[in-house]
Structure 1
């Protein structure tokens, strides 16, 4: 029997006025924000009505605390989108800003990909989570399904 719950802290990064815009669209429609993003960097820039990666990381610190407290020694499945997945990696693997942005720059997080960790008791003072898979899509490829990085289809506001 599987119990699941929806947690608003696991939502994708709020893009604010940048939502559904490409880099070119942002530069055309919000040139001052494009410049601010260039100066601050994507890790720290918060578009109007949106979040920075740091805002997402703050939310996820709380999620990790909840999981650690309420689900200790249990298997946990988290379903999330690209920035959330990458920010989890940043926290769990204690990465630097440069390291996680390098991973983000190198590849898109594929739709339906799996990122997994296992507890490694020999790491650190009391053990820690070790990355097993990132962006793993073999089950999709084996079934012949197309692996995409396309955004969701636009839907009406809720």
Structure 2
């Protein structure tokens, strides 16, 4: 069975943890002290995050409502982390009935979870440098690699294939989770993932309340494919509003020579 006709992924609004990290980047670590002793699961949205969620919900209703009073989506799914559930509620989607899914929770950052920026550099400098070298397989100390995150999200995709193939589905989740969905749905190579990870381009970030829309419906013709062939990124909580517009997904295939060119990118050191 194919994936849903339309799959809409939404990152939660700015959380207390996000706000603390922004302050830490400017040299103020006081917010981390307030969050100390709490698991990231329990972080609420900041005031800014609540506003972002309301704005995203307004945009979703304008984008997907067609003058009737029926629910906008066929299935509503949220991560079990509090910030995702709070975002889901504040989207204020009409007649929504939400399913909670713990496989959608954010990547586990282990010892780095509530670690201020300066402490990350001092205590975990070697580990952080390896992250930029091999971001797909790199694992935070006592945390979860991106590869492991992708493996657990396969379970979510399996459910979507099995139960939701003819549906329009909305999922509220997290930034790293959305990147992992991209890797899985687009069959993204590790090399491309590394380029995106290390990129400074705005389109390669996942902003709070960013919306990633995958579709099997051709936006030009309306024809429905058996494959998820189209994607669009939108940031309704940003001013000015930003979107990529619809883009065709091209999944890579490799010849023997293509594989060997990739192999040569890793120099041989022992014969």
Q: TM-score range by the shorter chain?
A: 0.7 to 0.9
SS at match of 2:154: helix
User: Structure 2: 5+ residue runs without aligned partners?
Assistant: 1-94, 219-224, 242-271
Instruction: Check whether the contact 1:43–1:53 (CA below 8 A) recurs between aligned residues.
Output: yes
**Deviations along 1:58-100, whole A, 9 cap, x unmatched?**
0111110011112221111111111110110111011101212
Aligned-residue offset at 1:114: 0.6
More RCO (CA 8 Å, sep 6+): 2
State the partner residue of 1:30.
Answer: 124
Relative to the length of structure 1, the TM-score reads: 0.74
State the partner residue of 1:81.
Answer: 174
1:117 and 2:210 aligned = no
Instruction: Check whether the contact 2:209–2:237 (CA below 8 A) recurs between aligned residues.
Output: no
Which whole-Å CA distance do the structure 2 matches of 1:80 and 1:29 have between them? Answer: 30
Considering only CA atoms, is the larger Rg found in Structure 1 or Structure 2?
Answer: 2
Aligned residues between the structures: 138
Q: Aligned in 2, Cα 1:142/1:36: closer, same or farther, shift over 3 Å?
A: closer
User: Structure 1: 5+ residue runs without aligned partners?
Assistant: 144-158
Instruction: Check whether the contact 1:36–1:45 (CA below 8 A) recurs between aligned residues.
Output: yes
Task: Give the CA RMSD over aligned residues.
Answer: 2.6
Which whole-Å CA distance do the structure 1 matches of 2:98 and 2:139 have between them? Answer: 31
SS at match of 1:141: coil
Relative to the length of structure 2, the TM-score reads: 0.45
Which whole-Å CA distance do the structure 2 matches of 1:109 and 1:36 have between them? Answer: 22
Q: 1:5 aligns with which of 80, 83, 99?
A: 99
Aligned-residue offset at 1:139: 5.8
State the partner residue of 1:71.
Answer: 164
Which whole-Å CA distance do the structure 2 matches of 1:89 and 1:38 have between them? Answer: 19
Which whole-Å CA distance do the structure 2 matches of 1:96 and 1:35 have between them? Answer: 21
Q: 2:231 aligns with which of 121, 132, 137?
A: 132
State the partner residue of 2:184.
Answer: 91
1:16 and 2:110 aligned = yes
